[in-house]
Amino acid sequence: MKKVGIFWPGDYRAKPNELATPNAKEATEQLQQALRKLGRTPYVVPGFLTRPDEAISKLGPIDDPLIGVFVHWAYGPHTCDGVAGKDSPLLLASNFSGVWPGLVALLNTGACLESINRRHSRIWTDAPDWTKDAAFMERLDEWCSTGQIRYSEKELHRSAAVAPEAQALGERIAAEVRNKRVLALMLGDTSMGMINGYFGPRILSKHGFAEHKVDQAWLPDRVKKIDARRVENAFRFVRDKGVAFHWREKDADDFTEEATKTQLAMYLAVLDLLAEFKADCLGWQYQLGLLPVLPPSDFCEGLLNSTCRPETNGDLVITATEADQGNLVPMELMKRLLKAKGLHQAVMFHDVRWGAEHDGRWLWVLLNSGSCGAYAFNHDAETLRGVHSYRQPAGYFPIPGGTFTGESLPGAMTWARSYIKNDVAWMDIGRGEVVALPPKVRDAWWEGTTRQWPFMAADLFCSKETVMAHYESNHIAVAYGDIFGEMVAVSQALGFQVRVLARCN
C-alpha cells in the first residue's frame, strides 16, 4: 500500500465534534508524519463523519487502505456503514487519553465492526510524538505492509477450571432460565451508534432471553401521569437514605430539587412499565431522542440497579444504560448467580474509559454515567450513603438532571461481557479486583475523565494490550465477589461461546 486515507468518525451532535476538532487535527498531523516516515502517502477525508449517509458517501467509493482517527466519542455506524462489504485494510487509531473518550469509541467501533464481520485492526499511543513510540511505529509498519496487526493471544483462553459446586450452580441457573426465559423490557434500541450492543430475538432466543420493545416516546406522557404523592415519597426516601444532591453548585445553577423530582417521576413511570409487562430486566436507550424533552436517566438507572430504592420489592432491577444487550445479558445472569450464592445481587455497568499504571500494575478507570448502583459505593444493601448526584454537563444535556455517582469500594470482583462474533453470541469472562487509590491519585484520574460520573479503579487481571486489541466492547459488567466459575458454567450451559481473559501463570 502506498496511499492511505485518513478519516474522522464523529458524533452526531455538532458540539462534541467542535470541541474535539483541535485533538483530531493534532492526532491527524501525528499520524501523517508517522505514515510519511514509513514511506506512505496519506490524505485526509474532509470533515467529521456525523451521519451514516456521510460514511456511505465519503468512505464507500474509497478502495485505498483507511485509518479512522478516534479522539472523542464517535458512533459505530459512522465507520461501519462506509466500509461494510469491503475487505480493504482498515485501521482504528486512538490517542490514549482519559480526557476525551477516543479509546472508548475505538473499542465500541471495533466491536461494531466485529458484529458485521468486517476485518480491521487497532492501534493506540499516548506518546507526545507518535513517531518516537517504537511499538506504535512497528505496528503501524506491520499494518502498512500486511494490512493487519497481529497481537498476542496468550491471555485469551477457551476453557477454565470450574469447581464441581460452581458447575452445579451454573447449570441450575441455566435450567431455571430455560424453564422460564428472561424477559428484557427495551426502551428503544442501543444509544448513540452502539450497534454491537443490539442482539435482537434471533440471538436472544437461542440463549434463554426475550425482548419486548417499548418506544421511549411513551415516557413523557407516562411521567405526567405519575401521582405527585409518589414523587414526594420517593424524594423523601432518597434524601433520608443518604443521597448527597449537588443542586445549584458552580456550572449547575439550573440543577434543582425539581429536576430530581422529574427524574424520580421517570423512575416511577419505568417501574410501572416493568410491572405492566412483567419484565425481569431493563435496557434504557438514554440518548439521544429524549434529550430535548426530559432530564437524563442516570439517576433513575442508578436507583433501579440498587436494592435500596423507592417502592422496592427487595430486589434490584438489572438496568443496562444505552439499551446495551451485550451488558444486559451477563448482568442478569450474574445477578441470579450472586443471589443463589448468597452474595449481594448488585452488578455495575461501566465504560472502559482509560487506564494507567499504579504501584507497578495496570489499572483501568471504569466510568459510565448511568447504571451503576449504590452498593458499589457503600457495600450496604439498606442505604444510599455514598451516592452523589451532580448535574450532567450542560454541553451535552440541555435539560438539567442529576447523575448517580460515587467512589467504588475495593474488593474482589468478577467481570463479563457478551458480544456477537461470526454471527454467534460470545461471553467474555474474567476475574479482577477493585482497587482503592490514594486520594491524590484518585482525584487526578477522576478529574482527568468525567468527575460527575461513578468511578471504579480496577485490575482486570489481564494486560492493557489484551483489552485494547481483543476486547469487543466499550462496556463491561462488574460484580463484587467470585462467581467466575459459575459464570463460565451458566454461559456454556446456555449456549454461549466462552472466552476467558486472564494472565498466564
pLDDT tops 80 at residue 12 = yes
pLDDT at 45: 98
Do 69 and 192 fall within a single domain? Answer: no
Do 189 and 134 fall within a single domain? Answer: no
Angle at alpha carbon of residue 497, lines to 492 and 499, rounded to 5°: 100
pLDDT tops 80 at residue 287 = no
Mean pLDDT, residues 15-38: 96
Do 398 and 476 fall within a single domain? Answer: yes
Do 407 and 436 fall within a single domain? Answer: yes
Q: Establish if 355 belongs to a structural domain.
A: yes
Do 174 and 272 fall within a single domain? Answer: yes
Residue ending a domain, among 118, 146, 174, is 146
Nearest to 354 by CA among 433, 457, 471, 454: 457
Q: Establish if 202 belongs to a structural domain.
A: yes
Do 234 and 372 fall within a single domain? Answer: yes
Nearest to 83 by CA among 47, 117, 40: 117
For residues 314 and 302, give the distance between their C-alpha atoms in angstroms, rounded to a whole number. 15
pLDDT at 505: 67
pLDDT tops 90 at residue 155 = yes
Taking each helix axis from N to C end, the angle separating 164-179 and 484-493, rounded to the nearest 10 degrees, works out to: 40
Do 39 and 168 fall within a single domain? Answer: no
Q: What is the mean pLDDT of the chain?
A: 96
Do 428 and 468 fall within a single domain? Answer: yes
pLDDT at 219: 95
Number of domains in the chain: 2
- Cα–Cα distance list, 111 to 75, 97, 269, 348 (Å): 12, 19, 33, 20
Long-range contacts of 310-314 (CB under 8 A, 24+ apart): 310/230, 310/233, 310/234, 310/237, 310/238, 310/264, 310/267, 310/268, 311/230, 311/234, 311/268, 311/271
Write out pLDDT tens, residues 384-439. 999 999 999 998 899 999 999 999 999 999 999 999 999 999 999 999 999 999 99
For residues 368 and 331, give the distance between their C-alpha atoms in angstroms, rounded to a whole number. 15
Q: Establish if 151 belongs to a structural domain.
A: no
Q: Establish if 20 belongs to a structural domain.
A: yes
Report the CATH number that the domain containing residue 357 is assigned in CATH.
3.40.275.10
pLDDT tops 80 at residue 289 = no
pLDDT tops 90 at residue 99 = no
Confidence label for 478 from pLDDT (cuts 50, 70 and 90)? very high
- Assign 3-state DSSP to the chain and report helix, strand, coil percentages, each to 5: 35, 25, 40
For residues 476 and 111, give the distance between their C-alpha atoms in angstroms, rounded to a whole number. 13
Write out pLDDT tens, residues 157-173. 998 999 999 999 999 99
Do 350 and 234 fall within a single domain? Answer: yes
Burial class of residue 359, CB neighbours in 10 A (0-12, 13-18, 19+): exposed
Task: Determine if residue 257 is left, alpha or beta; phi over 0 gives left, psi from -120 to 50 gives alpha, anything else beta.
Answer: alpha
Mean pLDDT, residues 431-452: 96
Q: Establish if 153 belongs to a structural domain.
A: no
Residue ending a domain, among 112, 146, 180, is 146
Cis? peptide before 288, omega within 30° of 0: yes
For residues 162 and 168, give the distance between their C-alpha atoms in angstroms, rounded to a whole number. 10
- Cα–Cα distance list, 443 to 62, 340, 455, 458, 482 (Å): 45, 36, 10, 15, 28
Residue 122, C-alpha cell as written in the block: 487497532
Do 309 and 229 fall within a single domain? Answer: yes
For residues 471 and 149, give the distance between their C-alpha atoms in angstroms, rounded to a whole number. 15
Do 229 and 347 fall within a single domain? Answer: yes
Residue ending a domain, among 92, 119, 146, is 146
pLDDT at 281: 98
Confidence label for 1 from pLDDT (cuts 50, 70 and 90)? low
For residues 301 and 304, give the distance between their C-alpha atoms in angstroms, rounded to a whole number. 5
Looking up cell 469500594 gives 409
pLDDT at 370: 80
Q: Establish if 158 belongs to a structural domain.
A: no
Looking up cell 459459575 gives 486
Q: Establish if 154 belongs to a structural domain.
A: no
Q: Establish if 226 belongs to a structural domain.
A: yes
Report the CATH number that the domain containing residue 87 is assigned in CATH.
3.40.50.10940
* First-residue to last-residue Cα distance in the chain: 40
Mean pLDDT, residues 433-450: 96
3-state secondary structure of 485: helix
Percent pLDDT > 90 in the chain is 92
For residues 128 and 151, give the distance between their C-alpha atoms in angstroms, rounded to a whole number. 23
For residues 353 and 367, give the distance between their C-alpha atoms in angstroms, rounded to a whole number. 6
For residues 88 and 342, give the distance between their C-alpha atoms in angstroms, rounded to a whole number. 51
Mean pLDDT, residues 360-381: 95
Write out pLDDT tens, residues 460-473. 999 999 999 999 99
Domain interval for residue 117: 3-146
Confidence label for 77 from pLDDT (cuts 50, 70 and 90)? very high
Do 175 and 98 fall within a single domain? Answer: no
